[in-house]
Amino acid sequence: MNIRRVVPDITTDRLDESREFYTEFVGLHVAMDMDWIITLVSPSNPTAQINLLRGERAGGAQHDVAISIEVDDVDALHAKAVSRGLKIVYPLTNEPWGVRRFFVSDPNCVIINIMHHIE
């Protein structure tokens, strides 16, 4: 299995201020803006990214996601999580915006969004 990218997710009630900070001060560019999530990307390294998530909702899932990990085979990793008895806090789902994902809790109770873009 290939890991394509690992992206920190920042949940915020100050989405506009956060967007301005990371674009105007840090220099990241907006790659995606879906109102509830904004993906910011480095202009010189497209895998260096930050997601900003609107505080009251994370794409319909009511969990505080801390990290998103994009993999090439989300189904295989989901099966591995199930076989290991890991705590899945959001089921394997095809989302309407074109990703297949699930959320799993790590040993520190950090919620990880494991995802893959649907081709």
The domain that contains 109 carries what CATH number?
3.10.180.10
Q: Please, what's the b/e burial string for 31-49 (b: 16 or more CB within 10 A of its CB; e: otherwise)?
A: eeeeebbbbbbeeeeeeeb
The whole-number pLDDT of residue 60 equals 53
Task: Tell me the residue range of the domain where 23 lies.
Answer: 3-117
**Per residue in 53-85, pLDDT tens?**
987 654 555 567 889 999 999 999 999 999 999
Task: Decide the pairing of beta strands 37-41 and 88-94.
Answer: unpaired
**Per residue in 15-62, pLDDT tens?**
999 999 999 989 999 999 998 899 999 999 999 999 999 876 545 555
How is residue 16 written in tokens?
Answer: 């506009």
How is residue 100 written in tokens?
Answer: 């297949």
The C-alpha atoms of residue 27 and residue 20 are separated, in whole angstroms, by 9
Look up residue 113 and give its amino acid: N
pLDDT at 104 over 90: yes
